[in-house]
Amino acid sequence: MALKRGLSSVRVLSNRSSGSRLPIAILVFFSVLAPLVFFVGRGLYISDQNSIQSDFSKQNVDWRERLALQSIKNLFTKEVVDVVTTSTADLGPLNLDSFRKGNLSASWKVVGVETSVQDNAISKSNQKATDLKQETSQDKEGKFLDDDHSHDTPAKILRRQLRDDRREKRATELVKQDEKVTVKLENAAIERSKAVDSAVLGKYNLWRRENENVNSDSTVRLMRDQIIMSKVYVSIAKSKNKLELQQELQIRLKEIQQALGESTADSGLPHSASEKIKEMGKVLSKAREQLFDCKLVTGKLRAMLQTSEEQVRRLKKQSMFLSQLAAKTIPYSIHCLSLRLTIQYYLLPQEKRKFPRSENLENPNLYHYALFSDNVLAASVVVNSTIMNAKDPSKHVFHLVTNKLNFGAMNMWFLLNPPGKATIHVENVDEFKWLNSSYSPVLRQLETASMKEYYFKADHPTVSGSSNLKYRNPKYLSMLNHLRFYLPQVYPKLDKILFLDDDIVVQKDLTGLWSVDLHGKVNGAVETCGQSFHRFDKYLNFSNHHISRNFDPNACGWAYGMNMFDLKVWKKKDITGIYHKWQNMNEDRALWKLGTLPPGLITFYGLTHPLEKSWHVLGLGYNPSVHKKEIEHAAVIHYNGNMKPWLDLAMTKYRPYWTKYVKYDHHYLRSCNLSE
């Protein structure tokens, strides 16, 4: 029994011990293996976090670079961004001020490194790159020795290594830089200069594309640009005491001015011009490197512009003076023609001085023309052009009136050159005995001392020299100019007459003008007003109450030169009496200054019928913009202005319309050297 109890107790203990082994194993596992797994897993987690943080920092840097690049692209062109990117990759951020001033070369330099464009540049660049790497590595080592980074985190150490690698890469790429960046910069400068009209900087550079321009005056314009810039730099060099550079600029300036001379096209330049341009370009580039200051250059150019404007104003005044002088004088050749014809006329017997068909002079059924002139050649063109374009010349009658100096010449010319079947008659205004100072107010005024002083006093205080010369024009003092206000007195038996100036050319048959209904008006004329131009306020003094109370300042003006006058209505309205009234009121020249158009506008106010503009085209004596089609479709073209077709200052493109009616093969014209 005792043995059984012992065996049973042993079984119980063995059963208990086997049942307790599993908890003990679990306890041993958690106490030994679990900490090991924890520490291994944490080490792996830290490693992953470091790699993730590194990747995130890289992404963050890439994101900032992309954002900065997008902003830069909105501000600069692609070429400029390329330059900034390359330079930034080489030496860090650039100074924008230095970039705007074009001083990039200074920011590209690194101590101990110099670029060259010679053939051995590549080998030298490689050697210098090696030296630069060594210097950079030495600097880097020294920096690490000096600075204590033992407590930096792995991320900071990694970023520092990346920065050092970038710096080393920049130094290497800098040495390998070739001319492509320079070419891009120059092309960008060219495009910017083209976009700015007032830009003159860079025009003298040898690489500028204007040098390759095929235009006939591209080289001339380039030389003028070089002259302008050289004058600017000469002034700046003098102010900065750069005497050697100033002297060099002055020498090149003198050379290129001599080469340019008076040339206006490349064909007139000497062969040495291209060499002078190159030499000047080199000097100007040198001056730009040493002296260029945007504010200073702008100031010099502005001063030059103001000086040029003042010279232009002075030359305009001189040009006005000379044009007035030329307009009031008679060319030597025409004066010669008049003298030769006058001598020949007074050598003729009395019976040969008469024109045929004198019975037509007072026939109201024919087409009558009034022409008042002292210019033989001009009068001949008016008559010839009218006859050559007339459908039936036999029905046309020309009434010419001249002064006593040209009376013989005018008669002799038309005796030698009769106008075909047309009728012509020449009279002398000085033989009109009824036209005297007691009858004509203007004739009385022209004889007064005050009028002579007004027209001839050189130091007149109220007018400039050119205007004073304009007042001295003989046409304003001649009764031939004022005779148009006395047509019924000159031709009492005529009903209608067409008045023509001597500076017109007839291109079509004019008989249709006699069929135009003037609606009870006296004067048929082409109006000249356009918007605010050529209205009454341009010719009359509306500050005077006599003018302001009787006339509309916006009333449309009209032109003398081709006017159809109804002489019957003229007499009924007493037009000559109206003219005398206003001429007497203007004795002190308070209503208008000079000429016959202002008193004509007053006299025929409300009595003028507008004609179609194609009848009479004006402006060929002053306006270079008259359209060719308008001229060709006109019945009469008028050279009103100073540039008369018989003068040397006539506009070339309008002159052939007049010269084709001149008989240049006539022996009198050849003897006086009159030619096209």
Integer CA distances (angstroms), 183 to 87, 172, 180, 392, 404, in order: 15, 21, 5, 76, 78
User: pLDDT at residue 149 above 70?
Assistant: no
Q: What CATH number has the domain bearing residue 504? A: 3.90.550.10
> Is there a contact between 220 and 265 (Cβ–Cβ < 8 Å)?
yes
Q: Is pLDDT at 442 greater than 90 in this prediction?
A: no
Mean pLDDT for the stretch of residues 446-471:
59
Classify residue 236: in a domain, yes or no.
Answer: no
Residue 372 lies in a domain: yes
587 vs 99, more confident: 587
- The pLDDT assigned to 36 comes to 61
**pLDDT tens figures, 87-121:** 554 445 544 444 444 444 433 443 343 444 444 44
Where are the strands (E) in 456-561, listed by range? Answer: 496-500, 504-506, 523-525
Does residue 24 sit within a domain? no
The span from the CA of 282 to the CA of 321, in Å, is: 44
Query: pLDDT of 251-278, one tens digit each?
Result: 999 888 888 887 878 888 888 888 889 9
Instruction: Give the phi and the psi of residue 561 in degrees, each rounded to 5.
Output: 130, -40
Which tops the pLDDT comparison, 633 or 59? 633
Q: What is the pLDDT of residue 632?
A: 94
* Helix (H) or strand (E) run with residue 476 in it: helix 474-477
Q: Examine residue 555 and state whether it is found in any structural domain, yes or no.
A: yes
Q: Are strands 636-638 and 504-506 parallel, antiparallel or unpaired?
A: antiparallel
- Burial class from Cβ neighbours inside 10 Å (0-12, 13-18, 19+) for residue 337 reads buried
**Residue 438 and residue 444 in contact, taking contact as beta carbons nearer than 8 Å:** yes
Instruction: Assess contact for 42 and 50: CB atoms under 8 A.
Output: no
Q: For residues 400 and 379, is the Cβ–Cβ distance under 8 A?
A: yes
Contact call for residues 94 and 87 (beta carbons, < 8 A): yes
> What is the model's pTM?
0.58
Neighbours of 13 (CB within 10 A): 10
Q: Judge contact between 498 and 611, C-beta under 8 A.
A: no
Q: How many folded domains does the chain comprise?
A: 1
- Distance (Å, rounded) from C-alpha 627 to C-alpha 250? 47
What pLDDT is recorded for position 313? 86
580 in any annotated domain: yes
70 band by pLDDT with thresholds 50, 70 and 90:
low
Average pLDDT, the chain: 78
Q: Answer for the pair 422, 387: CB distance below 8 angstroms, yes or no.
A: yes
Containing domain of residue 379, as a range? 332-458+467-672
Residue 516 sits at the vertex; the CA angle it makes with 511 and 521, to the nearest 5 degrees, is 130
- CA atoms within 13 Å, Cβ hemisphere of 499: 25
Q: Decide if 310 is inside a domain.
A: no
CB-side neighbour CA atoms (13 Å) of 457: 11
CA–CA dist 441, 167 (Å, integer) = 99
Answer whether residue 425 shows pLDDT above 90: yes
Nearest to 650 by CA among 320, 319, 323: 323
Question: DSSP readout, 233-262?
Answer: HHHHHHHTT-HHHHHHHHHHHHHHHHHHTT
Which DSSP string do the residues of 202-232 spell out, in sequence order?
Answer: TTTSTT-GGGG--STTHHHHHHHHHHHHHHH
Give the pLDDT score at 38: 59
How would residue 180 be classed by pLDDT, with cut points 50, 70 and 90?
low
* pLDDT value of residue 308: 85
3-state secondary structure 344-386: HHHCCCHHHHCCCCHHHHHCCCCEEEEEECCCHHHHHHHHHHH
The H-or-E segment that residue 608 falls in is strand 608-610
In 240-331, where does DSSP find H-type helix?
A: 243-260, 273-291, 294-328
In a domain, 196, yes or no: no
pLDDT at 174 over 80: no
- Answer yes or no: is 164 within a domain: no
Contact yes or no for 516/635 (Cβ under 8 A): no
CA distance 404 to 187: 73
Identify any residues that bridge with 400 across adjacent strands, giving them in sequence order.
Answer: 371, 426
